[in-house]
C-alpha cells in the first residue's frame, strides 16, 4: 500500500514543489496531489506545508521521509523473493533503442541495471526511431528508448533527457575552408551526409529545410548512412558535413579530428523518450527497467 507515494515524497521534498516533482515523474500535478492526499488522509496527518515560497516538510513528513527509501528497497526485495518462489529465473528483457541512446547511454544503463538485477537476461536492439517503434508495436521488444517524438496513441511515453545536435566537419588545415559559421544557403552547397529515412537526425534536417522554404533534396546530399560511426568516419575523412548529437562526437572534438560549424543562428535539440505499450502490461523485469530509468532519485538513465 502507498508504494508509489513512498517514491514520490522524497522527490517533492527535494524539489520543494509538487509541479516540479510531477514533471520529473512524468505525472500530472493533480495526480501527485491526489496520491499524497490519500496517504495523509489514511494516517491523519499532513506531510507538507504549502507556502508561497514552496513546499516544506512537516514534522510528520520528515518522519515519513526517513522511512521512504527503506520502504522502497524492502518492497523491491520482497518482489525479488516472491519471484524466486514463483520460479521466475533469468527473465528476458529486450530493449530497442535509437542510435544515440543505444550507443551512448544504454550500455552503461544496462550495466548498472544488471548490478541491481543480475538475474535479468538483457538483449539490446539498435535501429532508427521509426523502426524501433515498429518493433515495439509488433511485440518484438519490451521497451523502446528513442530519439525524437513518439505518438502517444497506444503508448506510454516518458521523457528522459534532451541532447544538443551540432553540425560537424573535418578539422582540416586549410584556413580558407575553416569557417566557424555559415549560412543555410552555404550549407545547401556543401556535401552533406545524412541518416536514412526514419532516423530522428534525418527528420530534424527535413524540418529545417521545410521551415525555410526548401526540401531535403534541395541540399547537396552525397550519401546516406544508417550508422553514426560510419558517418563520423566519412566526415573525419573530409567527405562533407553532417548533423550529429554532441554526445556522439565529444571524443573527436576533444581530439581535434572534428570541429563544429554554426549554421546561421539555429540551435538544435532532440528529446530522448522511453516508450512502452499502454495496452499490455509490461513484464515484471520490464517494469523494473522502466522504474529504474524514470526514477529521478536513482539516476538510472545517464550518458556513458
pLDDT computed for residue 51 by the predictor = 80
What value does the mean pLDDT take over residues 18-31?
82
Q: Is residue 238 part of a domain?
A: yes
Mean pLDDT of the chain: 88
Q: Are residues 52 and 147 in the same domain?
A: no
pLDDT computed for residue 243 by the predictor = 97
Ranges 11-25, 81-95, 193-207, most confident? 193-207
Q: How far apart are CA 103 and CA 128, in angstroms?
A: 12
The closest of 178, 176, 175 to 260, measured between CA atoms, is 178
Our count of domains for the chain comes to: 3
What value does the mean pLDDT take over residues 175-200?
87
Domain end among 37, 58, 85: 85
Q: Is residue 300 part of a domain?
A: no
Q: Are residues 171 and 254 in the same domain?
A: yes
Burial letters 195-228, b for 16+ CB under 10 A, else e? beebbbbbbbbbebbeeeeeebeebeeeeebbeb
pTM of the model as a whole: 0.75
C-alpha cell belonging to residue 268: 538544435
Q: Are residues 140 and 227 in the same domain?
A: no
Q: How far apart are CA 142 and CA 154, in angstroms?
A: 14
Q: Which residue has the higher pLDDT, 164 or 153?
A: 164
The closest of 136, 172, 140 to 151, measured between CA atoms, is 136
What whole-number percentage of the chain has pLDDT above 90?
A: 56
On the question of pLDDT at 35 being above 60, the answer is yes
CATH at residue 75 = 1.10.10.10
On the question of pLDDT at 177 being above 60, the answer is no
Q: Are residues 279 and 136 in the same domain?
A: yes
Q: How many CB atoms lie within 10 A of CB 84?
A: 11
Q: Is residue 152 part of a domain?
A: yes
What value does the mean pLDDT take over residues 269-298?
89
Q: Are residues 41 and 130 in the same domain?
A: no
Q: Are residues 108 and 50 in the same domain?
A: no
Q: Are residues 243 and 192 in the same domain?
A: yes
On the question of pLDDT at 254 being above 70, the answer is yes
Between the alpha carbon of residue 82 and those of residues 13, 69, 124, 233, the distances in Å are 31, 20, 27, 49
Q: Give the 3-state secondary structure of residue 51.
A: strand
Q: Is residue 303 part of a domain?
A: no
Q: Is residue 147 part of a domain?
A: yes
What value does the mean pLDDT take over residues 108-117?
90
pLDDT computed for residue 19 by the predictor = 86
Domain end among 52, 85, 118: 85
Q: Are residues 279 and 145 in the same domain?
A: yes
What value does the mean pLDDT take over residues 92-118?
93
Q: Are residues 156 and 277 in the same domain?
A: yes
On the question of pLDDT at 3 being above 80, the answer is no
On the question of pLDDT at 215 being above 80, the answer is yes
pLDDT computed for residue 15 by the predictor = 86
Domain end among 56, 85, 114: 85
Comparing 9-13, 83-87, 112-116, 245-249, the range with the smallest average pLDDT is 83-87
The boundaries of the domain holding residue 282 are 92-160+271-294
Q: Are residues 186 and 263 in the same domain?
A: yes
Q: Are residues 50 and 119 in the same domain?
A: no
Q: Give pLDDT tens digits for 59-82.
A: 888 888 888 878 878 877 787 777
pLDDT computed for residue 298 by the predictor = 64
Q: Are residues 118 and 65 in the same domain?
A: no
Q: Give pLDDT tens digits for 121-138.
A: 999 999 999 999 999 999
115: confidence class by pLDDT, cuts 50, 70, 90: confident
pLDDT computed for residue 31 by the predictor = 84
Amino acid at each position: 500500500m502507498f508504494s508509489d507515494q513512498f517514491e514520490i515524497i522524497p522527490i517533492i521534498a527535494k524539489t520543494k514543489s509538487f509541479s516540479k516533482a510531477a514533471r520529473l515523474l512524468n505525472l500530472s500535478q493533480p495526480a501527485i496531489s491526489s496520491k499524497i492526499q490519500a496517504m495523509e488522509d489514511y494516517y491523519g496527518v499532513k506531510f507538507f506545508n504549502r507556502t508561497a515560497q514552496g513546499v516544506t516538510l512537516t514534522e510528520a513528513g520528515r518522519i515519513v521521509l526517513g522511512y521512504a527509501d527503506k520502504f522502497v528497497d524492502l518492497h523491491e526485495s520482497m518482489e525479488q523473493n516472491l519471484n524466486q518462489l514463483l520460479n521466475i529465473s533469468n527473465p528476458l528483457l529486450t530493449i530497442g533503442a535509437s542510435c544515440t541512446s543505444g550507443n551512448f547511454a544504454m550500455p552503461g544503463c544496462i550495466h548498472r541495471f544488471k548490478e541491481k538485477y543480475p538475474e535479468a537476461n538483457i538483449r539490446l536492439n539498435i535501429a532508427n526511431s521509426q523502426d524501433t517503434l515498429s518493433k515495439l508495436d509488433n511485440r518484438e521488444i519490451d521497451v523502446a528508448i528513442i530519439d525524437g517524438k513518439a505518438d502517444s496513441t497506444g503508448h506510454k511515453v516518458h521523457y528522459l533527457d534532451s541532447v544538443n545536435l551540432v553540425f560537424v566537419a573535418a578539422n582540416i588545415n586549410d584556413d580558407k575552408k575553416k569557417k566557424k559559421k555559415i549560412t543555410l544557403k552555404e550549407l545547401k552547397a556543401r556535401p552533406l551526409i545524412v541518416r536514412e529515412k526514419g532516423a530522428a537526425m534525418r527528420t530534424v534536417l527535413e524540418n529545417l529545410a521545410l521551415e525555410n522554404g526548401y526540401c531535403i533534396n534541395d541540399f547537396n546530399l552525397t550519401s546516406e548512412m544508417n550508422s553514426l560511426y560510419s558517418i563520423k568516419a566519412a566526415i573525419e575523412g573530409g567527405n562533407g558535413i553532417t548533423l550529429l548529437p554532441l554526445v556522439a562526437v565529444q571524443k573527436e572534438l576533444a581530439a581535434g579530428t572534428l570541429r563544429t560549424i554554426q549554421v546561421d543562428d539555429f540551435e538544435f535539440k532532440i528529446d530522448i523518450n522511453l516508450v512502452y505499450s499502454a495496452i499490455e502490461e509490461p513484464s515484471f523485469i520490464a517494469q523494473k527497467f522502466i522504474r529504474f530509468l524514470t526514477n529521478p532519485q536513482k539516476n538510472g538513465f545517464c550518458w556513458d
